[in-house]
């Protein structure tokens, strides 16, 4: 199995400042990237902004701004957010960059040369908000307005000369591809959605627009700009220096391991993107995972509804790691989820402050009083010691499988079970009653430190900043974290000094 792991977030429209939905995609991708790094993989983690098309052009016009200057400003807020969210991305791509434009023009030329693209006329519905073409049966009337049944966004009638991609021709090859790669689309429910869409018949896809200019020009016909989705999807290879197929990045990381996306953009990723690639004789990515939405109350966030959740506000109030923890643990991955103040505060108080923070503080304070802030020397492990310690080893392969199958929920529940077990171990073993059995007193401490170390390594992809503070106690810094070491039961060297830490998570005063 290759040791290279390439994960991407969708590239975000810089039409308005980032919201919680964007933060969610990015945090989940960061979780996988960090896990794979500590597992020893060579990780490329890409995020960025999707800057062309009518949606952006109109947003810039509304502000009376040149579209590039407009994009420069908002793209920067996305880049800043990636720092605020502590993302470990390798690159941040903007579709207005030369490297990307070059890559898109090249892909277009190949498709044209292979006669996969032809000139005709489009007449039909278009949603600028989704940058998507919709057929008559995907449209409905709501309050006298035509909207997409799928997204609810307003559509407008478009009639113009357009280049078409021969998508219809790829229906059968796509179905064959899905059959041969049963895990290409996850979760299963989304895969079924895509299969039934493709089985119902594919029409050729309009891939250029003529009535506005903000985009990458069709190389052979400057009156047209390339359809923004063909432009945007190509970011995943332009960041690897495609078309230079001999470039190390391209050679090492394509096909991508995982395109992480929201469920609303599944069709573009699971149908159009592999079709473009197959037509250009490029391998499709290995997996598309369509996650659910973060709802505000019960609704999707949108500017028009005025219900946008701002990640920065939550981070300013509660801190970054609690938000990351909440989104990863509390939202059942693959499904929709929402954020409520009560649930977030409960997570902080019970999981982070009580179960995790307290365990660390208790064991360190006990050690300070009894062993002078030093890893004590252990005696032989008892059965109860081995029981708590060995769970990590016996579940090691399962844990890696959870991550490789994007089963975040099982990964998190394992951590919670171990946290519970570690707290129970410390309580049940009552080291404070073992003052006359120094060997046992030391061994209980040793085991407790080992448990903290193992749990903290597992928490690192979720709450990196806090985990690093704890690992520092043991002198483990970020580039020394090795996931494999959760299998070791005697990793810590006795007599090494440990340091104290400040309170990791402050408890929030609640009314109940």
Establish if 51 lies at the interface with ligand MSP (CB under 6 A). Answer: no
Beta-strand relationship, 258-262 and 117-127: unpaired
Of residues 5, 6, 13, 214, which one binds ligand MSP by CB under 6 A? 13
Number of C-beta neighbours around residue 118 at 10 A: 11
Least CB distance to ligand MSP at residue 269 (A): 7
51's tokens: 């800057």
| Cβ–Cβ under 8 Å, residues 167 and 227 | no
Least CB distance to ligand MSP at residue 379 (A): 51
Of residues 7, 10, 101, 471, which one binds ligand MSP by CB under 6 A? 10
Measured from the CB atom, is 406 or 442 closer to ligand MSP? 406
Establish if 261 lies at the interface with ligand MSP (CB under 6 A). Answer: yes
Who contacts 426 (Cβ-Cβ below 8 Å, separation ≥6)? Answer: 359, 362, 363, 444, 448
Q: Which stretch binds ligand MSP (CB under 6 A): 5-13, 142-150, 348-356, 411-419?
A: 5-13
> What is 16-45 written as a DSSP string?
S---HHHHHHHHHHHHHHHHHHHTT-EEEE
Least CB distance to ligand MSP at residue 253 (A): 16
Least CB distance to ligand MSP at residue 254 (A): 15
Least CB distance to ligand MSP at residue 234 (A): 8
Site string for ligand MSP, 171-210 (x = CB under 6 A): ----------------------------------------
| Cβ–Cβ under 8 Å, residues 302 and 261 | no
Does 454 sit behind a cis peptide bond, omega within 30 degrees of 0 on the bond before it? Answer: no
> What is 347-399 written as a DSSP string?
IIIIIIIIIIIHHHHHHHHHHHHHHSSBPPPP----HHHHHHHHHHHHTHHHH
Establish if 128 lies at the interface with ligand MSP (CB under 6 A). Answer: no
168's tokens: 């219809």
Measured from the CB atom, is 158 or 230 closer to ligand MSP? 230
Which residue, judged by CB position, is nearest to ligand MSP in the bound state?
262
Of residues 5, 6, 7, 22, which one binds ligand MSP by CB under 6 A? 22
Q: Which stretch binds ligand MSP (CB under 6 A): 4-12, 27-35, 370-378, 433-441?
A: 4-12
Measured from the CB atom, is 29 or 473 closer to ligand MSP? 29
Rg (CA), the chain: 26
Measured from the CB atom, is 323 or 422 closer to ligand MSP? 323
418's tokens: 């171990």
Of residues 5, 6, 12, 483, which one binds ligand MSP by CB under 6 A? 12
Measured from the CB atom, is 165 or 293 closer to ligand MSP? 293
- In angstroms, the Cα distances linking 280 to 104, 261, 467, 484 are 12, 23, 44, 40
Establish if 310 lies at the interface with ligand MSP (CB under 6 A). Answer: no
User: At CA 11, angle to CA 40 and CA 217, rounded to 5?
Assistant: 125
- Tell which positions 474-503 bind ligand MSP, by CB under 6 A: none
User: At CA 472, angle to CA 470 and CA 477, rounded to 5?
Assistant: 120
Measured from the CB atom, is 21 or 322 closer to ligand MSP? 21
Question: Any idea what DSSP says for residue 99?
Answer: H
Who contacts 106 (Cβ-Cβ below 8 Å, separation ≥6)? Answer: 242, 243
| Cβ–Cβ under 8 Å, residues 498 and 367 | yes
Which 3 state secondary structure label does DSSP give 259?
strand
Establish if 25 lies at the interface with ligand MSP (CB under 6 A). Answer: yes
Measured from the CB atom, is 108 or 505 closer to ligand MSP? 108
Report residue 140: phi and psi, to 5°.
-140, 165
Of residues 293, 414, 425, 505, which one binds ligand MSP by CB under 6 A? 293
Least CB distance to ligand MSP at residue 12 (A): 4
Number of residues this chain uses to bind ligand MSP (CB under 6 A):
20
Of residues 29, 194, 216, 233, which one binds ligand MSP by CB under 6 A? 233
Establish if 264 lies at the interface with ligand MSP (CB under 6 A). Answer: yes
Q: Note the residues at the interface with ligand MSP (CB under 6 A).
A: 10-13, 21-22, 24-25, 50, 232-233, 235, 261-262, 264-265, 293-294, 300-301
């Amino acid at each position: 199995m290759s040791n290279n792991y390439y994960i991407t977030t969708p590239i975000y429209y810089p039409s308005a400042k980032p919201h919680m939905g964007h933060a969610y995609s990015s945090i989940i991708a960061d979780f996988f990237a960090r896990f794979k790094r500590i597992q020893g993989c060579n990780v490329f983690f890409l995020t960025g902004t999707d800057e062309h098309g009518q949606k952006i052009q109109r947003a810039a016009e509304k502000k009376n701004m040149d579209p590039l200057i407009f994009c420069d400003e908002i793209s920067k807020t996305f880049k800043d957010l990636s720092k605020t969210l502590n993302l470990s991305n390798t690159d941040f791509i903007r579709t207005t960059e030369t490297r990307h434009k070059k890559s898109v023009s090249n892909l277009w030329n190949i498709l044209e040369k292979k006669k996969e693209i032809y000139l005709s006329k489009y007449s039909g519905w278009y949603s600028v908000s989704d940058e998507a073409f919709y057929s008559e049966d995907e449209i409905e009337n709501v309050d006298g307005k035509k909207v997409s049944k799928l997204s609810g966004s307003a559509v407008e009638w478009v009639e113009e000369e357009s280049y078409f991609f021969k998508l219809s021709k790829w229906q059968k090859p796509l179905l064959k591809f899905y059959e041969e790669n049963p895990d290409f689309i996850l979760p299963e429910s989304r895969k079924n959605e895509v299969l039934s869409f493709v089985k119902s018949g594919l029409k050729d896809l309009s891939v250029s627009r003529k009535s506005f200019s903000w985009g990458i020009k069709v190389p052979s016909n400057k009156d047209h700009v390339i359809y923004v989705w063909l432009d945007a999807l190509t970011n995943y290879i332009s960041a690897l220096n495609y078309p230079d197929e001999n470039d190390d990045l391209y050679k090492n990381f394509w096909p991508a391991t995982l395109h992480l996306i929201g469920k609303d953009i599944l069709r573009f990723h699971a149908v159009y993107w592999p079709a473009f690639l197959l037509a250009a004789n490029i391998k499709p990515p290995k997996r598309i995972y369509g996650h659910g939405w973060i709802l505000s109350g019960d609704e999707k966030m949108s500017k028009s509804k005025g219900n946008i959740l701002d990640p920065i506000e939550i981070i300013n109030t509660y801190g970054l790691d609690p938000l990351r923890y909440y989104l990863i643990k509390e939202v059942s991955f693959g499904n929709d989820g929402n954020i409520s103040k009560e649930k977030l505060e409960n997570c902080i108080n019970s999981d982070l402050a009580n179960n995790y923070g307290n365990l660390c503080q208790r064991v360190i304070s006990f050690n300070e009083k009894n062993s002078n802030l030093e890893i004590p020397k252990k005696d032989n492990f008892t059965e109860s010691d081995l029981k708590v310690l060995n769970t990590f080893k016996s579940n090691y392969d399962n844990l890696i499988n959870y991550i490789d199958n994007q089963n975040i929920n099982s990964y998190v529940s394992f951590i919670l079970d171990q946290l519970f077990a570690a707290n129970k171990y410390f309580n049940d073993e009552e080291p404070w009653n073992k003052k006359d059995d120094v060997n046992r007193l030391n061994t209980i401490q040793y085991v407790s430190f080992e448990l903290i170390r193992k749990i903290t390594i597992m928490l690192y992809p979720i709450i990196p900043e806090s985990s690093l503070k704890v690992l520092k106690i043991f002198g483990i810094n970020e580039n020394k974290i090795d996931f494999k070491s959760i299998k070791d039961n005697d990793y810590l060297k006795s007599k090494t000094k440990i340091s104290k830490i400040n309170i990791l998570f402050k408890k929030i005063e609640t009314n109940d």
